[in-house]
Amino acid sequence: MKIKRFSLLVCVLSGLSFTVFSQDEKMLDSIPQTKEEFVRSEKAVINTINWLENTPVDQQTDLRNLRKAQVVAWITKSPTVTIEVNANVVDFFKKNPELLIIFMGGWTRYSLEHAYSSDPVQCNRAGIESAIRVYKMGIGMKKDKEMEKLADMETKGTLEQWIKDQLAKK
């Protein structure tokens, strides 16, 4: 009898947590037009960025392409987030073009979670770390020496200094 009650309780709590989780994980469904709409959509864009990072590149490709387009459109039109792509830093996406959008998403999430930060070192670091996470998943990714170097620098704690050095180059 106790096992049945416990099983029922687990099922009910699982159902409730799924409902709460799905409400909290609202994705970006349209591109805002006003600054106020952009601000209200920040949680949804972060959820969409997280989804892109956590969903293997070769799965749900139609939905993934839609989500990527939504994130790029949001970033492009955003009055609060500006991304500066430095060729010395983002030279890692040639073999895996998908990683450029992941980088942009990581930068955007960092900026939104840190009071619209535009700190080039920290924003680049966040973008690169996002790209590294997706690359390390290995699913749908081609082997890339540049990404391996970046992942190694992240592990050793030298990534931030490398970014500073790259940004200092002209």
Instruction: Report the pLDDT value the prediction gives residue 9, as an integer from 0 to 100.
Output: 37
Q: How many residues does the chain have?
A: 170
pTM to 2 decimal places: 0.84
Q: Are 147 and 135 in contact (CB under 8 A)?
A: yes
pLDDT of residue 25: 77
What's the pLDDT score for residue 91? Answer: 86
Nearest to 52 by CA among 107, 108, 105: 105
Query: Measuring CA to CA, which residue among 64, 48, 55 is closest to residue 109?
Result: 48
pLDDT computed for residue 158 by the predictor? 98
Mean pLDDT (10-residue bins), the chain, 170 residues: 43 38 72 96 98 94 96 97 94 92 98 97 98 94 95 98 94
pLDDT at 153: 97
Do 57 and 141 touch, CB atoms closer than 8 A? Answer: yes
